[in-house]
Amino acid sequence: MTTHPAHRADPSHPSLPAERPLLDPAPEYAKWRAEEPVRRVTIWGDNSPWLVTRHEDARAVLADPRFSADATLEGFPGFGPQAPPRAPGQFFMMDPPDHTRLRRVLIPDFTFRRIEQLRPAIARICGELLDAMTADGATTADLVEAYALPLPSLVICELLGVPYEDHDFFQRQAKAISSLAAGPDERLAARKALHTYLGELLALRTREPADDLVSRLARDRVATGEVTTAEAVGLAALLLVAGHETTANMFSLSVVALLRNPDQLAVLRAEPALWPDAVEELLRHITLAHTGLRRIATEDVEVGGVRIRAGDGVVVAVDAANRDPAVFSDADALDVRRDTTGHLAFGHGLHQCIGQSLARAELQIGLPALFERLPELHLTDRPEDFALTASMFHGMRALPVGW
């Protein structure tokens, strides 16, 4: 497949918006969704994919097997012309049958039932973190460092069997891997370091199994020949990277959203049973995947009345789709009572987030625990000053709070 010359960058195609306000999608999206819902944008070099902003079209693309997630295909609208090559096990950049084979390996550890069993451990971790944060009469903290990041990090470590003492090391590598500001060499070096570390852990668990996911990978999948050692390491790395930063970002942005919508927080204080609905609404409203979900057409396909040709890239702006007034009335408002069915914060179709039950459990337990323990919680600085500006997923470096 080659990039069609007519599809190359053209100055009349605007660049994909690089920045967004803290809680809302890029301002251009509302106009584009209304006037040109399937339109060309420029992302880098000569790559000019289609940007899809309506909910209906976004779902159609994500459910259609004629759109591939294979980032090795020429012209794929990835994160720069020199994105590091795909590593073994990175099935989010693959199509069936490899995607199916590798994803299936992880399914037993991420079923709703398995995650429900983790709830007591998550609640315990939340309590311990809140104890530490408020110890010695402290009345201020950086919420990212004290709560939002260690909570999902501790949980994913427990699940995988990765020692949490090493969190400085793997959090640094994870940050570099998902940073858009880091050069290809830096990202590749971070990945190499993480894979070496997890390769050693896999070897250890092969010799000395424990009750964790890495041991199960070693015993049930590598020893049986179902996946290679390199794939098992890649799977563990994928979970470690995807498993903590995303949820941490949702935590801090959710806290900002609720503190800026005190009427909604008051509804939750009066009716705590609404927290699970509130989490869905926060997921919809904030939509972390602000650089869009990336695909490439393998055949000619019509989307929203526009003919997308084989070899064309597509960026599915799920943040724009989640504010589509055709699906969500008064879509820009945060309304914890709304029906959020069909939101696309975890994607849709084959690649829908495998960790969604885990992320939901952490947010459904961690957010009410925080607001119940610290009813006077407030922001002490302008959170905009701490936004992560160059990451695939939207988030915050720090969130100074007081109580």
The continuous run of DSSP H or E covering 367 comes out as helix 356-373
Does 366 contact ligand HEM by CB under 6 A? no
Task: Tell the smallest beta-carbon distance from residue 82 to ligand HEM (Å).
Answer: 20
Q: Output 185 or 256, the one with its CB closest to ligand HEM.
A: 256
Which member of 79, 197, 328, 346 binds ligand HEM (CB under 6 A)? 346
Question: Cβ distance 13 to 40 under 8 Å?
Answer: yes
Task: Tell the smallest beta-carbon distance from residue 226 to ligand HEM (Å).
Answer: 17
Non-local CB neighbours of 110 within 8 Å, separated by 6+ positions: 354, 355, 357, 358
Does 320 contact ligand HEM by CB under 6 A? no
Does 293 contact ligand HEM by CB under 6 A? yes
Does 282 contact ligand HEM by CB under 6 A? no
140-199 residues in contact with ligand HEM (CB under 6 A) are 156
Q: If you search the block for the tokens 């919809």, which residue do you land on?
A: 284
Pick the stretch among 21-29, 72-80, 194-202, 351-359 that binds ligand HEM (CB under 6 A).
351-359
Cα–Cα distance, 233 to 129 (Å, whole number): 29
The Cβ of residue 307 has, within 10 Å, a number of other Cβ atoms equal to: 11
Return the SS3 of 154: helix
Task: Tell the smallest beta-carbon distance from residue 136 to ligand HEM (Å).
Answer: 32
Does 289 contact ligand HEM by CB under 6 A? yes
Q: Is the dihedral of CA 28, 29, 33, 38 positive or negative?
A: positive
Identify the bridge partners of residue 295 per DSSP, sorted by sequence position. 314
Does 336 contact ligand HEM by CB under 6 A? no
Pick the stretch among 10-18, 142-150, 331-339, 345-353 that binds ligand HEM (CB under 6 A).
345-353
Question: Cβ distance 352 to 92 under 8 Å?
Answer: no
Please classify residue 95 by burial: count the beta carbons closer than 10 Å to its beta carbon, then call 0-12 exposed, 13-18 middle and 19+ buried: middle
Identify the bridge partners of residue 67 per DSSP, sorted by sequence position. 297
Asked if residue 163 has a cis previous peptide bond (ω within 30° of 0), the answer is no
Does 345 contact ligand HEM by CB under 6 A? yes
Which member of 17, 184, 209, 347 binds ligand HEM (CB under 6 A)? 347
Does 91 contact ligand HEM by CB under 6 A? yes
Task: Tell the smallest beta-carbon distance from residue 334 to ligand HEM (Å).
Answer: 16
Q: Which positions touch ligand HEM (CB under 6 A)?
A: 69, 91-92, 103, 156, 238-239, 242-243, 246-247, 250, 288-289, 293, 345-347, 351, 353-355, 358-359
